[in-house]
Amino acid sequence: MTDHPLKTLIEAADRAITAEDFDTLMDFYTDDAVLVIAPGRLATGKAAIRDAFVAIAAYFGNSVRVSQGDMQVLEGGDTALVIMETFVHSAGPDGKEVTETRRATYVFRLDGDTWRCAVDNSYGTTLLDQSAPSTGAE
């Protein structure tokens, strides 16, 4: 079985995150994409998403590495929901690698023959663990 094109794409985006190549990373997003930085904190649009990735890299002492596990792709025409096991590796306080496992939800749109990410929510359905519901506004 060959990998789904979105698997290849997400792996390339992960490499860009690890390399802190944020210009390349922005090619993976639609112009008006939204990123969940943390539950309740959103970045909307490429400029804000780029700033967020720079801040996240600095927060983790430039040690972030992202990798992926199992994935499920649900395609409805030019729109796809990806459900994906995501591992966020970073250096802990003692320098040893710490790994956080998430079940992410990514929404991609087909733009010509290129899939681009419109919603990047690595927190998946755990957003519902928050007490105050949000309606997507900052």
Which residues form the interface with a copy of itself (CB under 8 A)?
1, 3-4, 7, 30-34, 36, 42, 44, 70-77, 79-81, 83-85, 103-105, 107, 109, 118-119, 121, 124-125, 127-128, 130, 133-136
Nearer to a copy of itself, 57 or 107 (CB): 107
Separation of alpha carbons 54 and 117, rounded Å: 18
Nearer to a copy of itself, 32 or 94 (CB): 32
- Which of 98-136 are b and which e, b meaning 16 or more Cβ less than 10 Å from the residue's Cβ? eeeebebbbbbbeeeeebbbbbbbbbbeeeeeeeeeeee
Separation of alpha carbons 85 and 26, rounded Å: 22
CB of 101 to a copy of itself, least distance (A): 11
CB of 98 to a copy of itself, least distance (A): 22
CB of 45 to a copy of itself, least distance (A): 9
What letter would DSSP give residue 94? T
CB of 47 to a copy of itself, least distance (A): 14
CB of 76 to a copy of itself, least distance (A): 4
Of 102, 101, 104, residue with least CA distance to 72 = 104
Nearer to a copy of itself, 87 or 91 (CB): 87
- Residue 12 CB-half CA count within 13 A: 15
Nearer to a copy of itself, 57 or 83 (CB): 83
